[in-house]
Chains A and B, each alone.
Chain A
Amino acid sequence: MLNINVSKIDQVALIEVQGRIDSTTALEFGQALAATIDDGERNIVLDLANVDYMSSAGLREIVSALKKVKRASGDLRIAQPSTRVSEVLEMAGLDTILQIFPNQTDAVSSY
């Protein structure tokens, strides 16, 4: 099960995800990211506080969305990833490519 909530705070699109991002849910996750960019959002915060499991299928969707939004001169920033999600991001070297913030407020106000 995956719950995805998209909201707007000032000029920032906040995507809050809850659940597991694995082979069966990654597509839904990727579609939500792509739809947000397609809607014209350029300042995106992805809050992963309530994601305790993310496989490479989820990572693929994040990289894909990041490329897409960067091409449109926007950015995607991560808020409060769990320890296990952070580990996956670090193994793939995304911690040096993505801006990662310890909480949602800092991530939103970084724009």
Chain B
Amino acid sequence: MSSERRLRIPATLESIKEAVQFVIEAAQDAGLSDDSIYHCELSLDEILNNIIEHGYALDKDGQVIDIICQLHDDRLVIIVEDDAPPFNPLTMPDPNPEEELEKRAIGGWGVYFVKQYMNQVSYTYTPNKRNRFVMEKRR
């Protein structure tokens, strides 16, 4: 058994809250544990923030982001699609947790957290010219 839910939000930081709530409800309905629900929440927050701040950085007006939740018996799949210029966040090198303070970049941890928290992540640039980021959390 599986089912699918969709949400479209404007590409604004203020809209992240609605998307996070949408995914929390899907994760609850998929039977995920509280920790796993939190992992999905934080991961979605990170990905949406990246898309809004970097992907759509120069042209946010009227842009949207689609969030699709696929509920399966054993896992929740969260798909995030946007129309920003093609960019695969998984090609970014991981930051080094052992780096000393002065050498550290201030940011760069978001995608790293997503990779730590989710069981599987992937990226494709679709034929209809959308960035498609897929995250999977098993029960």
B-contacting residues of A (Cβ < 8 Å)? Answer: 22-24, 53, 55-57, 59-60, 63-64, 66-67, 70, 84, 88, 91-93, 96-97
Q: B25-33, B44-52, B78-86: which lies at the A interface?
A: B44-52
Say yes or no: A60-B101 contact (C-beta < 8 A), given A23-B48, A24-B13, A24-B17.
no
C-alpha gap A88/B96 in the complex (Å): 14
C-alpha gap A83/B108 in the complex (Å): 22
Measured between C-beta atoms, what is the minimum distance from B1 to chain A in Å? 31
Q: Encode B13-24 as 1/0 by CB contact (under 8 A) with A.
A: 110110000000
C-alpha gap A63/B108 in the complex (Å): 11
Say whether A55 contacts B14, CB under 8 Å. Answer: no
Contact of B112 among A23, A60, A67, A91 (CB under 8 A): A91
Category for how many chain B residues contact A: 20 to 34
What are the residues of chain A within 8 A of B45 when measuring CB–CB?
22-23, 55
What are the residues of chain B within 8 A of A59 when measuring CB–CB?
109
Known: A24-B14, A63-B104. 15 other contacts (CB 8 A): A22-B45, A23-B16, A24-B13, A55-B49, A55-B113, A56-B46, A56-B49, A56-B108, A56-B113, A57-B49, A59-B109, A66-B101, A67-B101, A88-B113, A93-B98
What are the residues of chain A within 8 A of B38 when measuring CB–CB?
53, 84
A-B pairs with CB below 8 Å: how many? 64
Measured between C-beta atoms, what is the minimum distance from B90 to chain A in Å? 16
- Do most interface residues of chain B lie in helix, strand or loop, or is the interface mixed? helix
What are the residues of chain A within 8 A of B46 when measuring CB–CB?
55-56
What are the residues of chain A within 8 A of B52 when measuring CB–CB?
23
Say whether A91 contacts B113, CB under 8 Å. Answer: yes
Say whether B112 contacts A55, CB under 8 Å. Answer: no
Q: List 25 A-B contacts (CB under 8 A).
A: A22-B16, A23-B45, A23-B49, A23-B52, A23-B53, A24-B13, A53-B41, A55-B42, A55-B45, A55-B49, A55-B113, A56-B49, A60-B106, A60-B109, A63-B106, A67-B102, A67-B106, A70-B101, A88-B113, A91-B109, A92-B97, A92-B112, A93-B96, A93-B97, A93-B98
The answer to whether B107 has its CB under 8 Å from any CB of chain A is yes
Closest 7 CB pairs of A and B: A93-B97, A56-B109, A56-B110, A23-B49, A60-B107, A64-B106, A55-B45
Query: Which of the listed residues B13, B41, B95 has the most CB atoms from chain A within 10 Å of its own CB?
Result: B13
The answer to whether B122 has its CB under 8 Å from any CB of chain A is no
